[in-house]
Amino acid sequence: MKFAIQVNEGPYQHQATDSAYQFTKAALEAGHEIMRIFFYHDGVNNGTNLTTPPQDDRNVVSRWSELGKQYDLDMVVCVAAAQRRGIVDEGEMQRNGKDAQNIAEGFRISGLGQLIEAGIQSERLVVFGD
Amino acid sequence: MSEQIKKFMYVNRRAPYGTIYAWESLEVVLIGAAFDQDVSLAFIDDGVYQLIKGQDTAEVEMKNFSPTYQALGDYDVTKLFVEKESLEERGLTLEDLMPLTYEDEDDDWAEKDSIRLVSRAELADIMDEQDVFFSF
């Protein structure tokens, strides 16, 4: 099955992001395809490399990065939602005159069209949120 | 851009202010309109408040985005299903909602209502026909 995943909630605040991760990992291990993971609303906070969770807790952000690297996942952070919440890559930094960037490894910033396209091209779009 | 047409339904479940879900949902609808899919919106639970007429957000210093719903017709987003029971549970009627219309190109551009009042059971049947849901 060809899945697309949408993550609507931020890390630690809400379990949706954990469920999305666990679903994605289980689907990949079962041989399914994850054609895209789209981070929206506070879900964009999954893509900041500035998080420093306590050492005895899971690291939600680096966990995504590692899974992304292992399976070559397309992990997309919505640009409009990211701009509101301060998730910045090289291009956004220059475009908006910021002096820092914080996009985590394996994530890219792109538009909402990527979400619609995921809905069209996947066999199932699975939304994780409230 | 797309090789096939799917039935997309955006399910709006929350009040327009208090959280950003409603506004960011509308942003997806507007972008999605460019993809020429078969789009509809459903308003259930507190989501029916998104369509209330006369919204005034000055006191809470939030952006009043309700006029954007009136532009949906121009984006060929013409099916807005409002659940009857959700209205009734909140003491609302169709009269409390913004009049939203579109021009039907298949009917000599006649102006028609975009809002369609449906029962919970009818909406369940409509949902059953969909291919893709975005739930906000």
Domain that holds residue A91: 2-128
pLDDT at B3 over 80: no
SS3 (DSSP) at A23: helix
Q: How is chain B split into domains, by residue range?
A: 7-135
Tell me which chain B residues have a C-beta less than 8 angstroms from the C-beta of A40: 24, 28
User: How does residue A77 score in pLDDT terms, banded at 50, 70 and 90?
Assistant: very high
Tokens found for residue A21: 């991760």
Cα A20 from Cα A86, distance rounded (Å): 22
Of B1, B28, B135, the CB nearest to A112: B28
Catalytic center residues of A = 78
pTM listed for this prediction: 0.95
Banded model confidence at residue B136, pLDDT cuts 50, 70, 90:
very high
Contact A112 B27 (CB under 8 A): yes
A120 and B34: CB-CB below 8 Å? no
The amino acid sitting at A96 is N
8 A C-beta contact, residue B23 and residue B65: yes
Of the pLDDT bands very low, low, confident and very high (cuts 50, 70, 90), residue B4 is confident
Give the Å distances, CA to CA, from B14 to A7, A33, B81, B100: 17, 32, 15, 19
* Minimum distance, in Å, between the CA of residue A6 and any CA atom of chain B: 9
What does the mean pLDDT of chain A come to?
Answer: 97
Note the pLDDT of residue B58: 96
B chain contacts of residue A119, beta-carbon cutoff 8 Å = 6, 8, 37, 132, 134
Tell me how far apart the alpha carbons of residues A37 and A109 are, in angstroms, rounded to a whole number.
12
C-beta separation of B121 from B84 below 8 A: no
CB nearest B4 (choices: A80, A120, A125): A120
pLDDT > 60? residue B103: yes
Q: How far is B113 from chain A (nearest CA, A)?
A: 26
Q: Is pLDDT above 90 for B2? A: no
- Kindly report, residue by residue over A43-75, the tens digit of the pLDDT: 999 999 999 999 999 999 999 999 999 999 999
- Report the pLDDT value the prediction gives residue B123, as an integer from 0 to 100: 98
From the list A84, A115, A120, the residue facing B6 with the nearest CB is A120
Confirm or reject CATH 3.30.70.20 for domain B7-135, answering yes or no: no
Residue-wise pLDDT for B21-72, tens only, equals 999 999 999 999 999 999 999 999 999 999 999 999 999 999 999 999 999 9
Q: Which residues of A touch B35 (CB under 8 A)?
A: 113, 116-117, 120
Q: How confident is residue B5, by pLDDT bands cut at 50, 70 and 90?
A: very high
Could you give the number of structural domains in chain A?
1
CA distance B49 to chain A (A): 18
Residues of A contacting chain B (CB within 8 angstroms) = 6, 8, 40-41, 80-81, 84, 111-113, 115-117, 119-120, 125, 127, 129
> Quick one: closest CA in A to B133, which residue?
A125
Q: Do B34 and A113 touch (CB under 8 A)?
A: yes
CATH of the domain at A101: 3.40.1260.10
